Amino acid sequence: MGVSDVDVKYTLDEIRTKGKREMFRAGPRMRFVMPRISVRVTKWILDHAPSTTANQITLVSAVLGMAAGIWLIPTGVLPAVVAFLLYQLHILTDYVDGEIARVKESASPTGAYYDLMVGRYVKPIVLYGAAIGAWLMHPASIEGAIDLGLGGLIIAGFFLDKEAVDVWYRSNPARTDLEDPYVVRSQHAVRGARRVLIRIAVGLRSIPAFLTYQIAAALLLAFGVEGVHVGDYFLTPRTAILWLFAVTFPALAILRAIYIARTGHIPRRQDLVRDR
């Protein structure tokens, strides 16, 4: 008989290596926060619930992410904080499912498909949940209708960004030099001040940043800052966030598509990594 899953124990270093979570692989969140937590969660699951599959964790990740979007609909500090925490758990479990699959050598195209589709569903739900919440503050007004329209622009920008990458891969099926998402060094690596600026720009328009802004908006509303008049238009704190992302998401998605078309290269986290 072979060794059962219950008898298999892994060290954190083994999980980091097999799960491809070494500290040098990507940006600050990867190096300092999430992988330090995720590898420990993965180790606990492998030690105490070894029959757990990566696809089961992917399902949990999906539920957590969609719940975060639902919690963005109500207005208030507590719902905004709950949404932020749920989304962080979604990210954590999104790391864990891949680690479990790689450590147990059970990775499959089907599992990768489920994982990618969860991301495609969760992020639009989170983004549009906030748009619905902003609309509910004044549903019968023109400002409310604009909120829903801004949410639509954000979702369009999100999908355009994803399509820019997906279409590139579909256009290059026979290439043997396709980038491995776990390759650290890149001939296109960004250095110096430009690297810092890109990191800041990416961070400021990320989903975690979006959720942080929702907490800030809820705090402003709690302290009586309902918004400002811009001519006849009343701009609430929640709507201001929608405007920011309705402009940056489509704009940066278009720029990314142009960059990929001109260079044949997909900008990735690895482009920001220092040499070991």
HEC string for 2-57: CCCHHHCCCCHHHHHHHCCCCCCCCCHHHHHHHHHHHHHHHHHHHHHCCCCCHHHH
The answer, yes or no, to whether residue 191 has pLDDT greater than 80, is no
User: Given the DSSP bridges, would you call strands 228-230 and 233-235 parallel, antiparallel or unpaired?
Assistant: antiparallel
**Which pLDDT score is estimated for 13?**
83
Residue 247, by phi and psi: left (phi above 0), alpha (psi -120 to 50) or beta? alpha
* Full residue range of the structural domain in which residue 243 is found: 5-272
Query: Where is pLDDT greater, at 118 or 205?
Result: 118
**Which pLDDT score is estimated for 271?**
55
Mean pLDDT across the stretch 81-89?
A: 97
Would you give the DSSP letter of residue 174?
A: T
Residue 125 CB partners (closer than 8 Å, separation 6+):
65, 66, 69, 70
Specify the number of domains making up the chain.
Answer: 1
The pTM assigned to this predicted structure is: 0.86
* Band of residue 41 on the pLDDT scale cut at 50, 70, 90: very high
